[in-house]
């Protein structure tokens, strides 16, 4: 289908999280502080990892990439949401809506794949320590990170192409604070039953499979730690516990939202806040407050900045 022949909608109206003025002020304050924490916390992690030679292991290389993805992910939705909270008419052009949808799924899927790679890194470090250096070489890390970005792009382009080929001629009100596949395709002027199931099998299965791989890797890690009660393994297990927290906050809401066809179940915009806001906020907190090496690097960075 040619988009120009079937799409009559030129813009969408975002309803946001609430129309109550008092709640809008409260939401703006909270989400502004959350966005500032995401930017500051993840930028500090990136700078610390890039400037400290002691943080050159694969785990910190992957953490640096996770911080960059978190900045991208929250920047896709948060700035627009903050502006819309004080806008009388929360309109977004059709092209901008599709672009937001594309970039959200691009960085979101890339983060899913990267979190899976990080779990594999911890599994290799704990369960195969003698082969860790050979398996997680610098070249292997770059290949894995590149594969995460390529996989995210392929996933997103499929979702976007499925969306833009639909005819939009009717209601243009989206009951959410950003453009996402489920609420957008429900506005199509056609039967979306098959399309909804295809998209659920795409986004939903990716979320579920990645989560199952993560659970499997942590299961092997736990079994290994039960046998080897060494200080190094308990330290690695502490890192994994932090990773599990991030994974739970990110994957469970995504599975709930995307593993069901949007034509039969409405999406919950308040659940979307968990993986678009809370998860990116938690990453820098967990990886800095529970990691002595990162905290020491940031402290040295702070002392160098004070000198200047």
Helix (H) or strand (E) holding 69: helix 58-84
Burial of 299 from C-beta contacts in 10 A (0-12 / 13-18 / 19+): exposed
Beta bridge partners of 93: 11
pLDDT given for residue 1 in this prediction = 41
Query: For the whole model, what pTM was predicted?
Result: 0.88
242: Cβ–Cβ under 8 A, 6 or more apart, which residues? 286, 287, 290, 291
Strand partners, 174: 14
Delineate the domains of the chain, giving CATH numbers in brackets.
11-298 (1.20.1070.10)
Predicted confidence (pLDDT) per residue in 26-53, tens digit: 889 999 999 999 999 899 889 888 888 8
Which residues, in sequence order, are CB contacts of 145 under 8 Å at separation 6+?
A: 61, 62, 65, 114, 117
Q: How far is CA 66 from CA 20, 46, 170, in A?
A: 35, 9, 39
Residues 6+ apart with CB under 8 A from 214: 115, 116, 119, 247, 251
Distances (CA, A) of 5 to 13, 116, 161, 166: 22, 41, 16, 11
User: Helix H segments across 165-230?
Assistant: 181-185, 193-227
Pairing of the two strands 11-14 and 91-93: antiparallel
Which has more pLDDT, 200 or 7?
Answer: 200
Model confidence over 102-154: pLDDT tens digits?
A: 999 999 999 999 999 988 998 898 888 888 989 999 999 999 999 999 999 99
What are the two backbone dihedrals, phi and then psi, of residue 241, each rounded to the nearest 5 degrees?
-60, -40
Task: Tell me 276's DSSP state.
Answer: I
Lowest mean pLDDT across 63-67, 147-151, 181-185, 283-287: 283-287
pLDDT number for residue 61 = 92
Structure tokens at 92: 């977004």
């Amino acid at each position: 289908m040619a988009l120009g022949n079937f799409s009559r909608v030129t813009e969408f109206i975002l309803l946001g999280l609430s129309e109550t003025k008092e709640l809008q002020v409260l939401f703006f304050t909270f989400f502004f502080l959350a966005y500032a924490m995401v930017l500051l916390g993840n930028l500090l992690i990136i700078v610390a990892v890039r400037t400290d030679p002691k943080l050159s292991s694969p785990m910190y290389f992957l953490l640096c990439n996770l911080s960059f993805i978190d900045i991208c992910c929250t920047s896709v939705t948060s700035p627009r949401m903050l502006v819309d909270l004080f806008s009388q008419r929360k309109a977004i052009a059709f092209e901008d809506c599709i672009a937001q949808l594309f970039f959200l799924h691009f960085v979101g899927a890339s983060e899913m794949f990267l979190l899976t790679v990080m779990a594999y890194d911890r599994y290799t470090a704990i369960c195969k320590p003698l082969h860790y250096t050979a398996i997680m070489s610098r070249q292997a890390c770059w290949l894995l990170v590149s594969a995460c970005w390529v996989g995210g792009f392929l996933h997103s382009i499929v979702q976007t192409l499925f969306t833009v080929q639909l005819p939009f001629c009717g209601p243009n009100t989206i009951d959410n604070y950003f453009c996402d596949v489920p609420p957008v395709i429900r506005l199509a002027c056609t039967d979306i039953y098959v399309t909804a199931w295809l998209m659920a099998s795409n986004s939903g299965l990716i979320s579920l499979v990645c989560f199952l791989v993560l659970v499997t890797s942590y299961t092997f890690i736990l079994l290994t730690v039960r046998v080897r009660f060494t200080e190094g393994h308990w330290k690695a297990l502490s890192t994994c516990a932090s990773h599990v927290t991030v994974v739970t906050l990110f994957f469970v809401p995504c599975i709930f939202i995307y593993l069901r066809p949007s034509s039969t179940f409405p999406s919950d915009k308040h659940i979307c806040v968990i993986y678009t806001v809370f998860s990116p906020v938690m990453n820098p907190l967990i990886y800095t407050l529970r990691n002595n090496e990162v905290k020491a690097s940031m402290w040295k960075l702070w002392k160098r900045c004070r000198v200047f």
